[in-house]
Amino acid sequence: MNYLYDGTFDGFLTCVYHHWYTEKAEGIFSDGPYQLDLCRYAMTVETDTEKAARVLAAITKKISKWDAKRVYQAFCSNEAEKEMKLLRYIAYGFKRGPKIRLMHGDPVVKAVEAAEYRVGYEVHRLCGLIRFEEVVESGGGNTLLYSGIEPDNDVLEFLAPHFADRFKCEPIIIHDLKRDKALFAFGRKWEVYAAASEKMHAEIEATEREQGYRALWKQYFDAMAIKERKNSGCQRRFMPVRYWKRLTEMKESV
C-alpha cells in the first residue's frame, strides 16, 4: 500500500497511524507528481489531527520527547524518501525505546541522523548569512526588517527563536521564497504564515535609507577584505554560492 498525503507533518503522522491500523505502508508520498505503481494500490490520506496527536504521543511515551523532536526536525529536511526512513525509525524506536538515540551505527538511525543534521547545519549557517533590508508597507505604513531566503530545507521554525530574540524590539519578516511561507516576529513572539511571494513583494517596498545602508555595508565588506589573503575555495565552503544572491555584499560578485 502506498499512502499519499498533503505534505504536512500531521499528514505524515496520519499515514503512520494508518500503517499500524489500516495496512502496512510500502511507500509514503507527499502531494506532487506521483508515478503510478501498478503493483501497489495508492490511498490518499486525509490529514486527521487527532490521529496525528495519538502517534506523536506514542512516540513521546514509547521512545522519548527528544526523539519526537528529532522526528519533526528530520521531517523538515529535503532528504529523499524521508517519510519511509522516519517510519522505519519510529517502528524501530517502539521496539528499542529511548536507547535508539545511542545506536549511531545502525543504518535506520544513521539515515534519520543525517536528515536531522542537514536541517541543523543549514539553520546554523543561515543564522550568520541572513541579511535584512529596511522596508515599508505600501501606502506609507510602518517600517520593518525583511529578508528573503531560499533554503534547501524547511527551517523557518528553527530560525525563529534566534531572530525573535535578537530583534526583539523590531518587527521582522523572514520570507521562505521556495515554500511561500514567512516568519513574522516582534517582541520575542513569532508565527509562521503562508505568504505568496508576489503578494508579499507588492505589499512592501524598500525605504529611501535602505540604499544607503546597502552601500555602507558593501563598503565595509570591501574595506575589511585583504586581497592578498583572498581564498575563494574557503569562502565558498563557509558561504555556499547558492546563498550569494541573497547576500548584500556578494550581489555584484554573482
Answer yes or no: is pLDDT of 104 > 80: yes
> What's the mean pLDDT in 75-84?
96
Sequential DSSP letters for 47-116: P-HHHHHHHHHHHHHHT-HHHHHHHHHHHTS--TTHHHHHHHHHHHHHHHGGGGGG-TTSHHHHHHHHHH
Answer yes or no: is pLDDT of 194 > 80: yes
pLDDT at position 254: 38
Single pTM value for the model:
0.85
**Which residues have CB under 8 Å from 69's CB, separation 6+?**
none
pLDDT band at residue 141 under the 50/70/90 scheme: confident
